[in-house]
Amino acid sequence: MRANPRRDTKPEIALRSALHRRGLRFRKDLPIRLPERVVRPDVVFTRQRLAVFVDGCFWHCCPIHGNAPKTNTGYWGPKLQRNVDRDHAVNEQLRAAGWTVLRAWEHEQPQEVAKSVEGALRDLPTPAS
Ligand SMILES: [Zn+2]
Note the pLDDT of residue 121.
96
Cα 35 to ligand 1 centroid, rounded to whole Å: 31
- Integer Cα distance of 15 and 114 in angstroms: 6
Cα 55 to ligand 1 centroid, rounded to whole Å: 9
DSSP code for 104: E
pLDDT tens across 59-74, in order? Answer: 898 988 877 667 777 8
* pLDDT band, residue 5 (cuts 50/70/90): low
- Integer Cα distance of 51 and 89 in angstroms: 14
pLDDT tens across 24-48, in order? Answer: 999 998 999 999 999 999 999 999 9
Name the pTM for this structure: 0.86
Cα 128 to ligand 1 centroid, rounded to whole Å: 38
Cα 56 to ligand 1 centroid, rounded to whole Å: 7
**Is residue 51 within 8 Å of residue 94, measured between CB atoms?**
yes
Cα 67 to ligand 1 centroid, rounded to whole Å: 10
Scored b (16 or more CB within 10 A) or e, 23-41 reads eeebebeeebeeeeeebeb
* In this structure, CATH architecture of domain 10-123: 3-Layer(aba) Sandwich (3.40)
Cα 129 to ligand 1 centroid, rounded to whole Å: 38
Cα 10 to ligand 1 centroid, rounded to whole Å: 14
Cα 58 to ligand 1 centroid, rounded to whole Å: 7
